[in-house]
Structure 1
């Protein structure tokens, strides 16, 4: 099963901790999975996302950065991205 949600983060990031809590709650409620990738794992990720973490992707497309809006994430996973 491929995760629909990807969280790009880095250790020690308090915004990443907040985003992870929201993503974990929403995915658990909706029966979805997510993966978390540290931007420190690859130089290209550090270059791309250094100033925007946490960055959330849904179905491979950037959804949010800095903060995760729970309602928007739920809507995107339910197929209602305009909400």
Structure 2
């Protein structure tokens, strides 16, 4: 699996990454919040299903959703939009 914190082929690392899994209602809430934030700020996010990678499943397990900005974890379970905005500033 590609590491979402590494640069893409164009050389750009995603600033915002949502780690989650299918069927996770808290992940759905975090995704909706990040979609609204994307509309407001123009800052796109990348979503990674931790169940597609054993190392990510081991790392994040039951903490999902987890949101990182510039590779720094901003929260898990219930994501604070204010904290994510502050990290993007």
Q: Note if 1:56 corresponds to 2:67.
A: yes
Runs ≥4 in structure 1, deviation > 3 angstroms?
none
Length-normalised TM-score, structure 1: 0.87
Q: Which residue of 2 aligns with 1:81?
A: none
Deviation at 1:24, TM superposition (A): 1.1
Shift in Å at residue 3 of structure 1?
2.2
Consecutive unaligned residues in structure 1, runs of 5 or more: 79-83
**Aligned mates of 1:3, 1:45 — CA distance in 2:** 17
Give, in angstroms, the shift of residue 20 of structure 1: 0.5
CA RMSD of aligned residues (A): 1.0
Higher relative contact order (Cα pairs below 8 Å, separated by 6+ residues): 1
Aligned length: 78
Please give the TM-score of this superposition, normalised by the length of structure 2. Answer: 0.82
Q: Which runs of 5+ in 2 are unaligned?
A: 1-11
Equivalent residue for 2:33?
22
For 2:18, the equivalent position in structure 1 comes to: 7
